[in-house]
Amino acid sequence: MGGLSATRGGPVTVRAAAKINLHLGVGAPREDGFHPLTTVYQAIGLCDDVTARASVAGVEADTLGIEVSASDWVDAAAVPLDAANLVHRAAVALGELHDRPVGGSVLLEKSIPVAGGLAGGSADAAAALVALDRLHDLGTSDDDLLRIAADLGSDVPFSLIGGTALGTGRGELVEPVGDNGTWWWVVVPSDEGLGTPDVYRHFDRMRPDAPAEPPPADALLGALRTGQPLSLARFLHNDLGDAAIDLRPELGDLIVRGESEGALRGMVSGSGPTVVFLCESSDHARDLAGALMRTGSRVVLVANGAVAGAHVVRAHA
Ligand code: ATP
Measuring from atom 17 of ligand 1, which residue has the nearest CA? 115
Ligand 1 centre and the CA of 226: distance in Å? 33
Q: Is residue 150 over pLDDT 90?
A: yes
Q: Is 115 in the pocket of ligand 1 (CB under 6 A)?
A: yes
Q: Three-state SS for 236? A: coil
pTM for the model: 0.94
Q: Which helix (H) or strand (E) holds 71?
A: none
Ligand 1 in reach of 95 Cβ (< 6 A): no
CATH topology of domain 12-176+306-315: Ribosomal Protein S5; domain 2 (3.30.230)
User: pLDDT per residue over 2-48, tens digit each?
Assistant: 444 444 578 999 999 999 999 999 999 999 999 999 999 999 999 99
Nearest CA-CA partner of 272 in 108, 43, 50, 113: 113
49 included as an active-site residue = no
Catalytic residue among 133, 155, 179, 239: 155
CA–centroid distance, 122 to ligand 1, in Å, is 7
Q: Is 272's C-beta closer than 6 angstroms to any atom of ligand 1?
A: no
155 is catalytic: yes
User: Quick check: CB of 229 below 6 Å from ligand 1?
Assistant: no
The residue whose CA has the least distance to atom 9 of ligand 1 is 115
CA–CA separation, 189 and 186 (whole Å): 10
Domain boundaries, the chain: 12-176+306-315, 185-301
Close Cβ partners of 250 (under 8 Å, ≥ 6 residues apart): none
Class of domain 185-301: alpha beta
Q: What are the pLDDT digits (tens) for 53-109? A: 987 655 556 789 999 999 999 999 999 999 999 999 999 999 999 999 999 999 999
- C-alpha distances (whole Å) from 8 to each of 95, 99, 138, 315 are 17, 19, 10, 9
Ligand 1 geometric centre to CA of 228 (Å): 32
Residue 279 has pLDDT above 70, yes or no: yes
CA distances from 135 to 75, 130, 131 (A): 28, 9, 6
From 132, 139, 12, 134, select the one nearest 64 (Cα to Cα). 132
Q: Which helix (H) or strand (E) holds 172?
A: none
> What separation in Å is there between the alpha carbon of 61 and the centre of ligand 1?
26
